[in-house]
Amino acid sequence: MSLDRTSSVSAGWTLLAVCTAALILPLSFSGGALATPSIGLDLGAGPLALTWITNAFMLSFGSLLMAAGTLADRYGRKRMFVSGVGVFVLASLALGLAPNIVWLDGLRALQGVGAAAALAGGSAALANTFEGRSQIKAFSLLGTSFGVGLALGPILAGVLIEHIGWRAVFVSGALIGVLALLMAIPMMHESKDPHASKLDAKGTVSFTATLVLFTWGILLVPSTGWNSAPVIGMLLGALVCVLMFVRIERRVTRPMLDLSLFRYPRFVGVQLLPVATCFCFVVLLVLLPVRLIGIEGRSATDTGLLMIALSAPMLIVPYLAGVLTHWASARVLSAAGLLIAAAGLLLLSRVGINQPTLEWVVPLLVIGIGTGLPWGLMDGLSVSVVPKERAGMATGIFGTTRVAGEGISLAIVSALLAVLIQRHLPSQSAGAAQYLATGDLSQATGVAQGLEQAVLGAAYLQAFQVLLYGLAALTVAVALLILWFLRQATPVAVAELSEATSDCEAIVNAKCKT
């Protein structure tokens, strides 16, 4: 695309606005996790309600991502971006005033709606504004923005929580969003796709219902058990909804998800990569602050600083992964990275309660470095393992798998941790396990019927160690499956594709090519 001076200025401001908005998405994720113990103490919420602080955001974000992309193409990329950031800002400001946990969880879901619209609209606007190498550089900068937010979000959230309060975390996100709007509204050009398809409303509703019912059912397990009517009802409802979704997608002319792509073994293998990174990395962004603040009593600032060891490698390693493809295949690098992350999880399992900070740094760095290798190659692999004409839909599926998978993995791991804690406590004190899993040690002590905090801490540590063993085993298993599914050469050189390593690239390609 040849840009005159006016359009060059507009393109620059568009990129800056979208990158600014991208900072608040990881901040909202990690900030909500860091704030959970403080929110529990302030609002007096129960364990199930506290788990929805993060899950509500991730579920609405992941389930609406592709629908937002369709609306952006149909009604305008700028309009969708501005509307999404606007909803995010209003929801964030309202979170700063939330009177109780019910309002807070609902507003977090609304935040996720805004995040989906902002990401889909902003990334589609970049795809329309830039072409060729300029587009690759634009999305590389966008990926860097996500990395900066992921790396610095915990420390910013920690400082705000400790010195101002947990509400300041959400208000700070709103202020960054306002800055993005001030750049986007006057400078971003509007663009649409005249051939954009209509919103697959039935597919969107059935897909969202599947995720919500499944997640809700899993989160109910620690309190009601697998055999309870609510759990069975939720999981059966999720099964019915997913079957409806498959039937809908097979019948519509332009489906939201082209299920025929799952006939490609290599495509299936690529979908396993975000599953592995969710369980070996993303869940730790939530579990570790809960443990460090709620169980071990560390300050929010110290916890934020410690979390940098886990997230900072994401600023460098994904780029290095692209460079390393000149000497090793993406298949081998991705599998090797997962094995390194699994080793880091085993090292982390050896860290006891109230250990010095240095005991944490090495395991967290190893996990971050290992995860960074497949993280930097996944987007390129998602388009390289299918025929070129199917690349758009392939990246759309991958993006949804990645974001929605984070919400599902959080629900599974949170419920599993509570169940494991129950097994290490006397039967009469099982109710304390749910509070321990959400980092509420004081409430756990109150319902533990005389058990000392040291005993509760020991039960938590044992359960946490078993959980890490399971996550490490799962990560190793996926690494081996990746080696199997991706054993054939890919038709596109991944080295050329891996430069744009942001989550947004998957969504953009899907929407600008359909």
**Sequence-separated (6 or more) residues with CB below 8 Å from residue 300:** 34, 38, 157, 158, 159, 161, 162, 293
- Say how far apart CA 392 and CA 374 lie, in whole Å: 20
Predicted pLDDT of residue 224:
80
Residue 194 falls inside a structural domain: no
Distance of alpha carbon 183 from alpha carbon 68, whole angstroms: 21
Q: In this structure, are 15 and 67 located in the same domain?
A: yes
pLDDT at 393: 54
Record the tokens describing residue 369, joined without a space.
């470095």
465 shares a domain with 404:
yes
Structure tokens at 309: 């060891």
**Statement to judge: residues 367 and 286 lie in one domain:** yes
> What is the pLDDT, as a whole number, of residue 340?
97
What is the pLDDT, as a whole number, of residue 46?
A: 79
Q: Give me 305's structure tokens.
A: 């600083």
pLDDT at 380: 66
**Residue 249 sits in the same domain as residue 262:** no
Q: Is residue 211 part of a domain?
A: yes
Say yes or no: 35 and 101 in one domain. yes
Of the candidates 460, 465, 454, which has an alpha carbon nearest to the alpha carbon of residue 422?
460
Element housing 49 (H / E): helix 47-75
End-to-end CA distance of the chain: 20
CA–CA dist 436, 444 (Å, integer) = 6
The answer to whether residue 508 sits within a structural domain is no
Amino acid at 402: R
Domain co-membership, 248 together with 286: no
* Burial zone of 344 (CB within 10 Å; 0-12 exposed, 13-18 middle, 19+ buried): buried
Half-sphere exposure of 135 (CA within 13 A, CB side): 19
Q: Which two tokens stand for residue 202?
A: 């039935």
- Same domain? 472 vs 333: yes
CA-closest candidate to residue 371, choices 406, 404, 397: 406
Name the one residue in this structure whose structure tokens are 């403080």.
Answer: 38
Q: Are residues 22 and 156 in the same domain?
A: yes
Name the domain boundary from 255, 278, 295: 255
What is the total count of domains within the chain?
3
Are 55 and 95 found together in one domain? Answer: yes
| Residue recorded with tokens 């960074």 | 372
- Residue-level pLDDT at 90: 96
Q: For residues 340 and 25, what is the distance between their CA atoms, to the nearest angstrom?
A: 27
CA angle 282, 286, 292 (to 5 degrees): 130
- d(Cα 250, Cα 257) in Å, to the nearest integer? 9
Same domain, 220 and 345: no
Rounded distance, CA 488 to CA 265, Å?
A: 10
Q: What is the chain's pLDDT, residue by residue, as a tens digit (514 residues)? A: 444 555 777 888 888 999 999 888 888 877 888 888 888 888 877 788 888 888 889 888 888 887 888 888 888 889 999 999 999 999 999 999 999 999 999 999 999 999 989 988 888 888 788 876 776 677 767 777 877 887 778 888 888 888 899 899 999 999 999 999 999 999 888 888 777 677 778 888 898 899 889 988 988 888 788 888 999 999 999 999 999 998 988 887 777 777 777 777 877 888 888 889 989 998 998 899 889 988 888 888 888 889 889 988 988 888 888 788 889 888 899 999 999 999 999 999 999 988 888 899 999 999 999 998 888 787 667 656 556 545 445 556 766 777 778 888 888 998 899 889 888 887 666 678 888 888 777 777 777 777 777 888 888 899 999 999 999 999 999 999 988 888 754 444 333 333 333 433 343 344 333 3
Residue 412 is part of which domain span?
A: 258-499
- Residue 354 is assigned to a structural domain of this protein: yes
41 lies in a domain? yes
Please report, as a single letter, which amino acid is at residue 93.
Answer: L
Q: Final residue of a domain: which of 231, 255, 279?
A: 255
Total residue count of the chain as it appears in this document: 514
Query: Domain containing 327 — which CATH number?
Result: 1.20.1250.20
> 319 and 243, same structural domain?
no
Domain boundary among 157, 187, 217: 187
Residues 240 and 179 in one domain: no
**36 occurs within a structural domain:** yes
**Is 358 domain-assigned?**
yes
- Exposed, middle or buried: residue 225 (CB in 10 Å: 0-12, 13-18, 19+)? exposed
> By the 8 A CB rule, do 484 and 307 touch?
no
Q: Is residue 510 part of a domain?
A: no
Q: In the prediction, which pLDDT does 424 show?
A: 82
Instruction: Report in angstroms the alpha-carbon separations of 268 from 90, 389, 393, 436.
Output: 38, 17, 14, 37
Residue with tokens 């709103």: 174
